[in-house]
Amino acid sequence: MHPDAPRSICVFCGSADAADPAFLRGAADLGRALADANLRLVYGGGGVGLMGACARAAHQAGGEVLGVIPDFLIGKERAYDEVETVVVSSMHERKQMMFEQSDGFVILPGGIGTLEEVVELLSWRRLDLHAKPVVFYNPRDFWKTLFALFQHTVDERLTPPDFMDAWKAVATVGEIVPALLAAPNLPAPPDAVVVEKG
């Protein structure tokens, strides 16, 4: 990433407006927190569900936002055109661009689409294709059964035990940005002074 570029955080989350209002509020709180921390939000480009709540809040708080949406979802997910949005031709292209544009990832509650994104992201981490921080927002133990499934694959000796260290889970929105900033693989901000040891 160019040294003058803002550090960017990709958020994977649900696109259903029928989601628990507490989840929608949490997504909005995260958007504001990212803006306050001068972290660019990279997200799926839609204006619906947690996705839209997070993007609108980040934008309204003065944060930088990049949406990436496939052309066939522009109507269905009501593309949020108040922010920079890149239109791509496939889900694969969307995920690849979101990955390339991001220095870290936050996983909010979501459905099958979010699960698909998460599993691929963690699979790439398992294959040492990246070491970017991954933080799950886990209100009411939302991700408990997924974590149990991951542990089951470890117990069955199908996944190495250190895979369970590939992410951090937090219970409150207020813990998300500190967890990202504490991650050793998140780049320093552009104006940070790096002291060489030696």
Alpha-carbon distance of 109 to 99, in angstroms, equals 19
Q: Are 122 and 87 in contact (CB under 8 A)?
A: no
Sorted by where each begins, the domain ranges of the chain are 8-182
User: pLDDT tens, 83-138?
Assistant: 999 999 999 999 999 999 999 999 999 999 999 999 999 999 999 999 999 999 99
Write out the two tokens for 45.
Answer: 């480009």
User: pLDDT tens, 151-198?
Assistant: 999 999 999 999 999 999 999 999 999 999 988 777 766 554 444 433
Q: Are 17 and 48 in contact (CB under 8 A)?
A: yes
Instruction: Name the pLDDT band for 79 (thresholds 50, 70, 90).
Output: confident
Q: How many residues does the chain have?
A: 198
Q: Which of 11, 3, 5, 4 is nearest to 104 (CA)?
A: 11
Tell me what pLDDT residue 180 has.
94
The CATH number of the structural domain formed by 8-182 is: 3.40.50.450
pTM, rounded to two decimals: 0.90
DSSP 83: S
> Which stretch of DSSP H or E encloses residue 123?
helix 112-126
